[in-house]
């Protein structure tokens, strides 16, 4: 039998500190669905997704009941669609996108990822056509997510595609302007994209993966914050230790959910992503953890330091708790999805520049950042280039999910609802990087790529 203390603590983790599992993501390989006839590919794909993920919703609900642990999202990640649709016309690509979205709706899957391409070295006309279809694909769907990998530490940075993506993102914003340019929230640009990431918008089922697997993304910033509340006068090493222990417990819950889902769905278990993922709910915020450590407002000096130790402690605690870890693993710092971050932006304490610095020590990057709609495409490309450089030169994953909200100015508010939250439009440095971005070409990989 457990001690009363243990049981009460576990129940409080869920009831009062918002401990939840962010996502169960079923990754599915579509290589055996390929066909030169688009409709046949769609039919094959449909059959396969239903075969593996048809019961995902029920199993997730059952897990919620059994363990009393909320599962916020049920998701599916597919083989990057660009690899499977090489000969397809533009219209057929959109047809595929819409078909994927319909399958997601039918299965009541919250988001489905994989309308993706990897062009970190170079790209041909077919892949360029695929990338050009992303704005229409996102505008014609509601649950489809898309990503493009534009650089890796091994291969360098593809500036040609970064220059192009500035226009693509503006186009997505324009085509989804009725919903505050919501389409941009379903598109992410990556450096060093991992194959097994369960978090959207960047989830896809990588080419090195098997036929199917389950990946789990954990959450739980509220639990960490609450644990720190009881350590008001503790030294920083004690804070570190507390975070590590909490991360262990949170990850154990994730590992349990993965094992259970794997057994029930008869799909092999994949990885647990050791991430603290915020939600817009008050008390479920990464910013609040950093503030609990002793910052007046997140974004002030000391923020990068606090985030670095949080991130490392989460990884150390989590690594012991899970058999296979992967994905993005670290703390997420999206702006609109984190109520504490939004407050800091509103108070003028948190800038894009500080967020960029923070991304050098945490998982992913500039995430869910809303900027004025009239920003030049080259500025967006340059924001991407900066962030990708951090990833490529530091041998880590980084990403950009930026939303140039159509028709909105600095200080206006946008509201996406649900998990994606709301935010003020952030101020942006307007000096033009046009000449730099228009040079195009490819940046050679850094010297650390020669580590053999």
Partner 1 sequence: MRAIITVVGKDKVGIIAAISSLLAQNNVNILDISQTIMQGFFTMIMLVDLKECKLKFSELKELLMKKGQEIGVDVNMQHEDLFNSINRI
Closest approach, Cβ 52 to partner 1, in A, equals 24
Asked if 2 interacts with partner 1 (CB under 8 A), we say: yes
Residues that contact partner 1, how many (by CB under 8 A)? 21
Query: What is the rounded distance in angstroms from the CA atom of residue 340 to the CA atom of residue 287?
Result: 5
What residues have CB less than 8 Å from 78, skipping those under 6 apart? 27, 28, 30, 45, 49, 100, 112, 113, 114, 204, 205
Out of 54, 249, 409, 438, the residue judged to bind partner 1 by CB under 8 A: 249
Asked if 8 interacts with partner 1 (CB under 8 A), we say: yes
Asked if 10 interacts with partner 1 (CB under 8 A), we say: yes
Closest approach, Cβ 62 to partner 1, in A, equals 8
Asked if 281 interacts with partner 1 (CB under 8 A), we say: no
Asked if 13 interacts with partner 1 (CB under 8 A), we say: yes
What residues have CB less than 8 Å from 3, skipping those under 6 apart? none
Out of 256, 293, 349, 380, the residue judged to bind partner 1 by CB under 8 A: 256
Cβ-count burial 152-167 (b if 16+ within 10 Å, e if not):
bbbbbbbbbbbbbbbb
Tokens at 14, concatenated: 């869920």
Q: Which is nearer to partner 1, 67 or 305 (CB)?
A: 67
Q: Which is nearer to partner 1, 10 or 360 (CB)?
A: 10
Closest approach, Cβ 10 to partner 1, in A, equals 5
Phi/psi for 104 (5° steps) reads -60, -45
Could you say which residues in the range 67-96 bind partner 1, by CB under 8 A? Answer: 67-69
Closest approach, Cβ 21 to partner 1, in A, equals 11
Asked if 255 interacts with partner 1 (CB under 8 A), we say: yes
Asked if 1 interacts with partner 1 (CB under 8 A), we say: yes
Out of 37, 66, 236, 282, the residue judged to bind partner 1 by CB under 8 A: 66
Tokens at 29, concatenated: 């390989």
Q: Which is nearer to partner 1, 63 or 173 (CB)?
A: 63
CA-closest candidate to residue 340, choices 330, 327, 350: 350
Binding window for partner 1 (CB under 8 A); candidates: 65-73, 199-207, 338-346, 350-358: 65-73
Please name the residue ranges forming H helices in 133-235.
Answer: 134-139, 159-175, 221-229
Binding window for partner 1 (CB under 8 A); candidates: 9-17, 235-243, 339-347, 367-375: 9-17
Query: What is the rounded distance in angstroms from the CA atom of residue 377 to the CA atom of residue 380?
Result: 5
Asked if 6 interacts with partner 1 (CB under 8 A), we say: yes
Query: What is the rounded distance in angstroms from the CA atom of residue 251 to the CA atom of residue 287?
Result: 20
Query: What is the rounded distance in angstroms from the CA atom of residue 277 to the CA atom of residue 266?
Result: 27
Query: What is the rounded distance in angstroms from the CA atom of residue 1 to the CA atom of residue 300?
Result: 46
Q: Which is nearer to partner 1, 13 or 83 (CB)?
A: 13
Asked if 264 interacts with partner 1 (CB under 8 A), we say: no
CA-closest candidate to residue 214, choices 73, 69, 364, 77: 77
Q: Which is nearer to partner 1, 253 or 375 (CB)?
A: 253
Signed CA dihedral, 226, 229, 230, 235: sign only: positive
Query: What is the rounded distance in angstroms from the CA atom of residue 250 to the CA atom of residue 245?
Result: 9
Q: Which is nearer to partner 1, 9 or 412 (CB)?
A: 9
Q: Which is nearer to partner 1, 31 or 324 (CB)?
A: 324
* Interacting residues with partner 1 (CB under 8 A): 1-2, 4, 6-8, 10-11, 13, 62, 65-69, 249, 252-253, 255-256, 260
């Amino acid at each position: 039998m457990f001690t009363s203390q243990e049981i009460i603590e576990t129940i409080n983790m869920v009831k009062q500190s918002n401990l939840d599992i962010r996502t169960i993501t079923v990754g599915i390989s579509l290589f055996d669905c390929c066909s030169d006839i688009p409709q046949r590919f769609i039919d094959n794909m449909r059959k396969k997704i239903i075969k593996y993920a048809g019961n995902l919703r029920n199993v997730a609900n059952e897990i919620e009941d059994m363990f009393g642990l909320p599962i916020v999202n049920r998701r599916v990640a597919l083989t990057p669609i660009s690899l499977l649709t090489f000969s397809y016309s533009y219209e057929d690509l959109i047809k595929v996108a819409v078909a994927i979205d319909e399958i997601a709706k039918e299965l009541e899957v919250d988001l489905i990822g994989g309308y993706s391409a990897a062009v970190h070295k170079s790209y041909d006309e077919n892949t360029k056509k695929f990338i050009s279809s992303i704005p229409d694909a996102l505008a014609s769907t509601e649950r489809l997510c898309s990503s493009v990998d534009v650089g890796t530490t091994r291969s360098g940075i593809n500036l040609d595609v970064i220059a192009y993506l500035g226009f693509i993102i503006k186009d997505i914003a324009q085509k989804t302007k009725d919903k505050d340019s919501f389409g941009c929230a379903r598109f992410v640009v990556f450096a060093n994209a991992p194959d097994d990431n369960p978090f959207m918008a960047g989830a896809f089922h990588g080419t090195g993966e098997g036929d199917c697997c389950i990946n789990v993304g954990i959450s739980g910033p509220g639990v960490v914050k609450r644990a720190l509340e009881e350590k008001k006068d503790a030294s920083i090493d004690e804070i570190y230790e507390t975070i590590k222990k909490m991360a262990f417990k949170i990850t154990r819950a994730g590992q349990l959910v993965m094992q259970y889902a794997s057994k029930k769905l008869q799909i092999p278990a994949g990885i647990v992503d050791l991430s603290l993922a915020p939600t817009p709910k008050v008390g479920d915020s990464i910013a609040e953890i950093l503030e609990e450590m002793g910052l007046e407002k997140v974004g002030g000096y000391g923020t990068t330091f606090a985030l670095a130790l949080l991130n490392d402690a989460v990884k150390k605690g989590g690594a012991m708790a899970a058999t296979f870890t992967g994905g993005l693993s670290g703390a997420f710092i999206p702006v609109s999805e984190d109520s504490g971050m939004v407050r800091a932006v509103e108070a003028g304490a948190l800038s894009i520049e500080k967020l960029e610095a923070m991304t050098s020590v945490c998982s992913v990057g500039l995430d869910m950042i809303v900027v004025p709609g009239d920003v030049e495409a080259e500025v967006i490309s340059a924001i991407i280039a900066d962030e990708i450089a951090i990833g490529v030169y530091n041998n880590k994953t980084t990403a950009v999910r930026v939303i140039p909200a159509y028709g909105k100015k600095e200080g206006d508010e946008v509201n996406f609802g649900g998990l994606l939250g709301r935010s003020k439009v952030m101020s942006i440095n307007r000096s033009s990087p046009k000449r730099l971005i228009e040079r195009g070409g490819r940046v050679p990989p850094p010297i650390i790529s020669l580590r053999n």
